Amino acid sequence: MLLGAIADDLTGATDLALMLVRGGMRTIQVIGVPVSGDAEKLSEYDAVVVALKSRTIAADEAIRQTLASADVLREAGAHQLFFKYCSTFDSTDKGNIGPVSEALLDFLKVPLTLACPAFPANGRSVYQGYLFVGDKLLNESSMRNHPLTPMHDANLVRVLQRQSEGEVGLISHSIVDSGPAAIREALEHAAKSGRRQVIVDAISERHLVDIGRAADGMPLITGGSGIAMGLPTNFIRAGQLIPADVPEMMEAPEGRQVILAGSCSEATRGQIAHAIDAGIPACEIDADMVIAGEQTATELCDWALGQDKERPCLIYSSADPKIVAAIQQRHGIEKAGTAIERLMSEAARLLVAKGFTRFLIAGGETSGAVVNGLGVPALEIGPEIDPGVPWTRSIGMRRLALALKSGNFGAPDFFIKAWGMLS
């Protein structure tokens, strides 16, 4: 194994795995902390991406899961470790990015890592340390209303510093724009100056490729999937990797198809509206009814079974931020979120038992709940639907086709066009 990655949520892991496959790396995605006995099997791949659900849990537990995963990845031979988080840096002042990154630095006994969540293809760019979503500062985007990780500061140096014990620095656009040698020199200077993490600007794909090249040989990299754009080339250049073919279609198991949408992001709400306008039958989940026991997974399954077998149907709980805030105020953030995740997970299990084999799932928390509920141990990566979102196929269990979409990702017609890539 050349690259071992640990992602703090499921869809983020899939996003990264896709980027590595596009670069020619034979990649497997593992769900949950791997065990030592898996190391030999994992070593057969060029890259392994471990998908955790550690973004919003207690920092101590996030560190424990991450280090346990890192230990197995190193045992399997990983030359380089990658801690992957969201391109919108989903992490409050009490968040886990800083603590986990510093724990990995201590684990590897290295002085410095870089932090770059930029993904310009999806409208995420970092300039002078400030994260932009499209043309808006992060704190002025829809992320300011995120139900779990509301982002109120676009300055990533400040955000990461509030989470970290060591000093956080910045490698600014002017240096990044000068190319890999300048970036590498800046990294070396930051390490000598005692900094432990540096935010790295990136506003174009070329910047990401150059940052990846500059990171050649670094024991630890952190950031969004975009930073992985330049990593496979490092291994090819060193003669360690013969690129594999990139899939354009995926053979999917015969069966019915369904969309489960739990994200409340602006992008997902737009995709739901587009799908409904296109005639896809839809059933909305009412959180108050779910919590009261008046809307159940069995009812959702029965509704889906009653729809046209030749078309996808849509089950969704994606509400306007004001409605979500009111529900959270009535029931509490954790209770409301857990109830919806549990419902989606149970509905997915019932749907599989009734012959549904093709699932498009929107939202990181929802994707994690469904995949864990179905007991999926690992995924192979298929064709890219939209930037950062591929089809995947389950490994080690009954075959299922799964598209796991981060809430913020995908074009408005994502829920419609995805099905054309399955054979």
Of 188-202, 317-331, 408-422, where does mean pLDDT reach its minimum? Answer: 317-331
Say what the pLDDT of residue 161 is: 97
pLDDT digits (tens, 9 = 90+) for 8-60: 999 899 999 999 999 999 999 999 999 988 899 999 999 999 999 999 899 99
Instruction: Identify the band that residue 94 occupies on the pLDDT scale cut at 50, 70 and 90.
Output: confident
Of the pLDDT bands very low, low, confident and very high (cuts 50, 70, 90), residue 326 is: confident
Half-sphere exposure of residue 89: CA atoms within 13 angstroms, side-chain side: 33
Q: Can you spell out the DSSP letters for 99-133?
A: HHHHHHHHHHT-S-EEEE--BGGGTEEEETTEEEE
Band of pLDDT at residue 340, cut at 50, 70 and 90: confident
The pLDDT of residue 263: 86
| Res. 345: pLDDT tops 70 | yes
Instruction: Give yes or no for residue 182 having a pLDDT over 90.
Output: yes
The per-residue pLDDT for range 211-241, each reduced to its tens digit, is: 999 999 999 999 999 999 999 999 999 999 9
Q: Label residue 160 by pLDDT band (50, 70, 90).
A: very high
Candidate CATH numbers 3.40.640.10, 3.40.980.20, 2.60.40.10, 3.40.50.2300; the one for domain 256-421: 3.40.980.20
Answer yes or no: is pLDDT of 324 > 70: no
Angle between helices 364-374 and 333-353 (to 10 degrees): 50
Residues 213, 97: Cα–Cα separation, whole Å: 23
pLDDT at 328 over 80: no
Q: Which residues contact 334 (CB under 8 A, 6 or more apart)?
A: none
Please determine, for residue 321, whether its predicted confidence score (pLDDT) is greater than 70. no
Instruction: Find the helix or strand (DSSP H, E) in which 320 lies.
Output: none
For the ranges 87-91, 364-368, 386-390, which has the lowest average pLDDT? 87-91
Kindly report the pTM of this predicted structure: 0.87
| Residue 335's pLDDT band (cuts 50, 70, 90) | confident
CATH of domain 3-237: 3.40.50.10840
> CA separation (Å) from 240 to 46, 73, 123, 147, 330?
9, 17, 32, 43, 56
pLDDT at 364: 85
Cα(95)–Cα(198) distance, integer angstroms: 17
- Kindly indicate the confidence band of residue 333, based on its pLDDT and cuts at 50, 70 and 90: low
Which residue did the predictor score with more confidence, 95 or 177? 177
Residues forming a β-bridge with 29: 49, 379
Residue 304's pLDDT is what?
Answer: 98
Q: Which long-range contacts (CB under 8 A, 24 or more apart) does 42-45 make?
A: 42/1, 42/72, 42/73, 42/76, 43/1, 43/76, 43/77, 45/1
The residue length of the chain stands at: 423
- Taking all residues of the chain, what is their mean pLDDT, rounded to a whole number? 93
pLDDT(394) > 80: yes
Q: What is the Cα–Cα distance from 178 to 176, expressed in whole angstroms?
A: 5
Distance CA 319, CA 272 (A): 10
Q: Domain-by-domain residue ranges, the chain?
A: 3-237, 256-421
Q: What is the tens place of the pLDDT at every residue in 120-141? A: 988 999 999 999 999 999 888 8
The mean per-residue pLDDT over the stretch 289-301 comes to 93
Using DSSP's 3-state secondary structure scheme, residue 12 falls into helix
pLDDT digits (tens, 9 = 90+) for 240-272: 999 999 999 999 999 999 999 998 888 999 999
What are the helix and strand counts (H, E) for the chain?
Answer: 16, 18
Read off the pLDDT of each residue in 331-350 and give the average, rounded to a whole number: 85
Question: For the residues 370-389, what does the mean pLDDT come to?
Answer: 93
Q: What percent of the chain has pLDDT over 70?
A: 98
pLDDT at 144: 80
